[in-house]
């Protein structure tokens, strides 16, 4: 069965479940005006992939930076190998396999998160395996934090391929999401993408325009 992979949103003091959404029905191209720095692009076709769980090659404490090239610009993530080496290892493996190439940010909730990493472009897909690395009880999800999304029924720290970037000062999330790292440069690009969430779609986070991840490289 397809699974909706979402973080939870703290709203008016209550934790409310958010629905994942693919972003705009069957239209394959963007519409309306785009913020400066974003290119008008077509929505790539789905490309489901099933991969084997990777061997652990990332070393704890290793210095690694992921560069995310998108149709709205480029941003860097300083990967947290010290606290989440297994989560980072999976992300690096997927990036090196080209898993994220030509995928979209399928969910954009203004002043909350931008979320992508699903090859089915629907918000319901993953890589065919999961990793579990439980966050500490004091984990926080502040502006620029990059964490892994999961279904509400999965245990804390479970992840596949979908990730989200926090655009709120503090997303108010419980410590349930494995932290991949922090945006170290290019947060203006993330804010640009965050402006493309449709306020009328509420928690569903339907994008107003397609934002494509062209490639993720790790150095």
pTM: predicted TM-score of the whole model, two decimal places: 0.88
**130-155: average pLDDT:** 97
- pLDDT at residue 47 greater than cutoff 90: yes
pLDDT tens for each residue of 77-102: 999 999 999 999 999 999 999 999 99
Whole-Å CA distances, 90 to 50, 77, 108: 13, 15, 23
Reported as type and span, the H/E element at residue 63 is none
Dist. CA 11–CA 176, nearest whole Å: 17
Sorting pLDDT into bands at 50, 70 and 90, what band is 7? low
What residue spans define the domains of the chain?
Answer: 58-218
Task: Identify the weakest region by mean pLDDT among 19-28, 55-64, 208-217.
Answer: 19-28
CATH assignment of 58-218, among 1.10.1200.10, 3.40.1480.10, 3.20.20.190, 2.40.100.10:
2.40.100.10
pLDDT tens for each residue of 50-77: 999 999 999 999 999 999 999 999 999 9
Average pLDDT of the residues of the chain: 89
**183 φ, ψ (degrees, to nearest 5):** -65, 120
pLDDT at 5: 61
DSSP tag of 102: T
Sorting pLDDT into bands at 50, 70 and 90, what band is 6? low
- pLDDT at residue 25 greater than cutoff 90: no
pLDDT tens for each residue of 34-44: 999 999 999 99
Dist. CA 54–CA 131, nearest whole Å: 10
- pLDDT at residue 15 greater than cutoff 50: no
pLDDT at 29: 41
- pLDDT at residue 28 greater than cutoff 70: no
Residues 6+ apart with CB under 8 A from 132: 155, 157, 158, 159, 178
């Amino acid at each position: 069965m397809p699974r909706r992979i979402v973080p939870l949103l703290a709203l008016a003091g209550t934790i409310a479940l958010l629905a994942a959404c693919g972003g705009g029905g069957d239209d394959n191209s963007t519409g309306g005006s785009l913020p400066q720095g974003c290119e008008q692009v077509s929505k790539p076709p789905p490309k489901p992939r099933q991969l084997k769980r990777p061997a652990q090659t990332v070393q704890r404490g290793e210095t690694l930076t992921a560069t995310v090239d998108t149709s709205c610009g480029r941003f860097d993530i300083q990967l947290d190998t010290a606290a989440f080496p297994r989560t980072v290892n999976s992300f690096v493996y997927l990036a090196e396999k080209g898993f994220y190439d030509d995928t979209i940010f399928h969910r954009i909730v203004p002043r909350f998160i931008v979320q992508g990493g699903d090859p089915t472009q629907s918000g319901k897909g993953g890589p065919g395996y999961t990793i579990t690395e439980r966050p500490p009880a004091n984990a926080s999800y502040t502006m620029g934090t990059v964490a892994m999304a999961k279904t509400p029924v999965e245990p804390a720290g479970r992840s596949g391929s979908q990730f989200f970037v926090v655009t709120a000062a503090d997303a108010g999330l419980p410590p349930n999401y494995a932290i991949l790292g922090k945006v170290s440069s290019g947060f203006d690009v993330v804010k640009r993408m965050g402006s493309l969430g449709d306020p009328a779609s509420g928690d569903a986070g339907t994008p107003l325009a397609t934002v494509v991840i062209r490639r993720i490289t790790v150095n």
